[in-house]
């Protein structure tokens, strides 16, 4: 019985930690799109980022520029994106206090977008930035300038540039410009520190959250109660037997149990 209770606790634990690391995925993996492009948004467990399965209980939320917040019903597929209604912040949510980090998506009516990592990158990674221009004269690649926080940081004759071994100093709001074609919207590049040690790739889930305590108490309560009840029943039975043998007048019993 105690083993069953323990395994139930362990099971709940694994559910708890499994759902704690959910992230929002944009497909294709970009945060800037042209008007009338199609893209889809889903919630995935970070450990299984290759799986396209939508997590149950989690839903995609969207806040547009005018501040309006509404869910994007699964599957959150946007066909023919529109700047005013599909630009904004997207995140995954599963009730109060359970939300993923936010991804900002820009849909532009212009002719230039910047392809940059949607999720934070790790210090030391190589990051490729692509300036995409949809005018026919851009076909095959055109020179582009890349700006970080408004300052020109790179230019590339092909519209593609790779930042080797990014550091915190590379963080910022990026945009690119193709001369004569226009400027892309801005997207934030976030650089995070590498994991502290090779032995600890995932920090343990917080142990003392309220939901954790409540769930464990609710599961443990029936086992505790039944254990106490059983104990009481055994004790009263034992007492009854004792008193019946003590007060029992039979000599036969005494003879039988003495060697
Ligand atoms: C998303 O956009 C909002 C408002 O423009 C900004 O405050 C926030 O920092 C952005 N978040 C990311 C991850 O870029």
pLDDT tens sequence across 148-169:
999 999 999 999 999 999 999 9
What is the distance in A from the centroid of ligand 1 to the CA of 53?
27
Domain 1-109 maps to which CATH number in 3.30.200.20, 2.60.40.10, 1.10.10.10, 3.40.50.2300?
Answer: 2.60.40.10
Lowest-pLDDT range of 4-18, 139-153, 216-230, 231-245: 4-18
Alpha carbon of 18 to ligand 1 centroid (Å): 27
Instruction: For the chain, report the end-to-end CA distance as a whole number of angstroms.
Output: 38
**Torsion on CA atoms 53, 27, 37, 35, rounded to nearest 10:** 120
Confirm whether pTM is higher than 0.85. Answer: no
Question: Which H/E stretch holds residue 243?
Answer: helix 210-247
In a mutational test of the pocket of ligand 1, which residue from 62, 102, 172, 174 has the highest number of ligand atoms less than 8 Å from its CB?
Answer: 102
* 94 Cβ below 6 A of ligand 1: no
Q: Are domains 1-109 and 111-194 of this chain identical in fold?
A: yes
DSSP code for 170: G
CATH superfamily of 111-194: Immunoglobulins (2.60.40.10)
* pLDDT at res. 130: 96
Judge whether residue 108 has pLDDT over 80: yes
User: What is the C-alpha separation between 17 and 70, in angstroms, rounded?
Assistant: 27
pLDDT reported for residue 30: 94
Tokens describing residue 126: 């190589």
Structure tokens at 204: 């343990």
Instruction: Please say if the pLDDT value at position 137 is more than 70.
Output: yes
Residue 61 confidence (pLDDT) above 50: yes
Average pLDDT, the chain: 80
The pick from 67, 99, 104 for probing ligand 1's pocket by mutation, whose C-beta has the most ligand atoms within 8 angstroms, reads 104
Domain extents in the chain: 1-109, 111-194
Looking at residue 11, its pLDDT comes to 40
Atom of ligand 1 nearest to the CA of 103: 13
* Sequential DSSP letters for 103-130: EEEEEESSSEEEE--SSPEETT--EEEE
Residue 250 has pLDDT above 90, yes or no: no
Q: How far is CA 138 from CA 132, 157, 179, 181, 182, in A?
A: 8, 12, 10, 9, 12
Residue that wins the pLDDT comparison between 237 and 203:
237
pLDDT at residue 243 is higher than 80: no
């Amino acid at each position: 019985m105690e083993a069953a209770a323990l395994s139930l606790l362990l099971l709940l634990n694994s559910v708890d930690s499994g759902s704690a690391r959910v992230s929002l995925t944009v497909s294709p993996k970009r945060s800037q799109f042209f008007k009338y492009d199609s893209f889809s948004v889903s919630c995935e467990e970070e450990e299984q980022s290759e799986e396209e399965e939508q997590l149950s209980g989690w839903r995609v939320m969207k806040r547009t520029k005018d501040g309006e917040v509404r869910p994007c019903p699964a599957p959150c597929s946007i066909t023919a994106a529109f700047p005013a209604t599909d630009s904004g912040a997207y995140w995954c949510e599963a009730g109060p206090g359970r939300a993923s980090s936010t991804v900002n998506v820009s849909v532009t009516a212009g002719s230039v977008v910047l392809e940059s990592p949607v999720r934070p990158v790790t210090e030391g990674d190589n990051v490729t930035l692509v300036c995409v221009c949809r005018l026919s004269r851009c076909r095959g690649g055109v020179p582009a300038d890349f700006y970080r926080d408004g300052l020109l940081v790179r230019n590339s004759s092909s519209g593609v540039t790779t930042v080797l071994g990014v550091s915190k100093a590379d963080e910022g709001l990026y945009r690119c410009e193709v001369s004569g074609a226009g400027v892309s919207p801005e997207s934030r590049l976030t650089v995070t520190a590498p994991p502290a040690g090779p032995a600890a790739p995932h920090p343990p889930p917080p142990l003392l959250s309220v939901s954790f305590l409540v769930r464990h108490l609710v599961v443990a309560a029936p086992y505790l109660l039944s254990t106490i009840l059983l104990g009481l029943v055994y004790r009263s039975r034992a007492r009854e037997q004792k008193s019946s043998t003590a007060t029992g007048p039979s000599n036969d019993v005494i003879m039988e149990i003495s060697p």
